[in-house]
Amino acid sequence: MKSNAGFLFILPWLIGLLTFTVFPMFSAVYISMTDWSIIGDAGVIWFENFIEIFKDEMFYRSLWITARYAIFAVPIKIVVALAVAILLNKEWRGVGVFRTIFYMPAIVSGVAVAIVFRWVLDPSFGVMNAILNIFGIVGPNWLYDPAWVLPSYLITTIWGASGGLFIYLAALKDVPHEFYESATIDGAGSMRKIRSITVPLITPIIFYNMIIELISCFRKFTDAYIMGGAGGEGDFYMVNLYRQAFSFYKMGYATALAWILFAIILGLTLVINITKKYWVYTE
């Protein structure tokens, strides 16, 4: 009787899991093996979508654009968020206001951010080039120059890098204060304390954020779709997937792209997890 009661308590969650997770996953497997175009019936073509993807130059181009962005964006996000967290891990007056200000970019709509940055990075009327002109520097064309598209996206990354701020703050609060006191007695400076105490002790949180940021970079879509980029340099993987599904109506092909992306993210996550034992501190 007690076991039946327990089952009834988890039944709503179980129904939700089957309806919104398990069934869609099996449906996605089926759709990836069809030529479904949203309208009309779906014909089973087995693995032809996957074969076609690996022959598609746009697949490799979009994957390279996304991977290149992730190589730079993940370290930038981690370093910036951690640096801000260390600066704000002080109990001085008004620190709560600054914590709120630095965290706000993480909760602003991605569409709004993309529209604002299109204006900020405008080569003729944008704020960025206006600031550079004050120092006598001729600003680049940013999104309108293929060579400057990646730096443009990295600027937006820096602006919104404080998404993991409070996770780092919570980790910093858990670092025993006695370690810092002992280091001070031994004559260690601030940078030495950060390098030898702070960073090693919060490596589990850095590891967690690395995985989250990596997934976020490979799923980059909203700002990339709105901001674009000259020479197709803004055609990230998810932008290509979206166009295949809703511009070319190749839903089966797009679903196959999604499964390949899942496999790539899973593989990278496993690789990072293997390296965990070499650099993540565990008690």
What's the pLDDT tens digit per position in 202-217? 999 999 999 999 999 9
Counted domains in the chain: 1
Q: Is residue 96 part of a domain?
A: yes
Interval 232-242: pLDDT, tens: 999 999 999 99
* Across 184-209, average pLDDT: 93
* Closest CA relative to residue 211, chosen from 157, 156, 265: 265
Per-residue pLDDT tens over the stretch 46-66: 999 999 999 999 999 999 999
- Residue 19 inside a domain? The answer is no
Instruction: Output 259-264 pairs: Cβ under 8 A, ≥24 positions apart.
Output: 259/28, 259/29, 259/32, 260/50, 260/53, 261/218, 261/219, 261/237, 264/63, 264/218
Average pLDDT, the chain: 92
Is the residue at 20 inside a domain? no
pLDDT bracket for residue 283 (50, 70, 90): low
Could you tell me the residue range of the domain that residue 94 belongs to?
Answer: 48-279
pLDDT over 70 for what percent of the chain? 99
Structure tokens given for 53: 């993807």
The answer to whether residue 5 sits within a structural domain is: no
Residue 62 counted as domain residue: yes
87-91, 221-225, 272-276 — which is least confidently predicted? 87-91
Helix 203-218, helix 251-279: angle, nearest 10: 160
What's the mean pLDDT in 207-233? 95
pLDDT greater than 80 at residue 1: no
In-domain check, residue 273: yes
When pLDDT is averaged across residues 112-141 and rounded to a whole number, the result is 93
* CATH number of the domain where residue 163 is located: 1.10.3720.10
* Residue 34 maps to a domain: no
So what's the pLDDT on residue 149? 97
In this structure, is residue 220 part of a structural domain?
yes
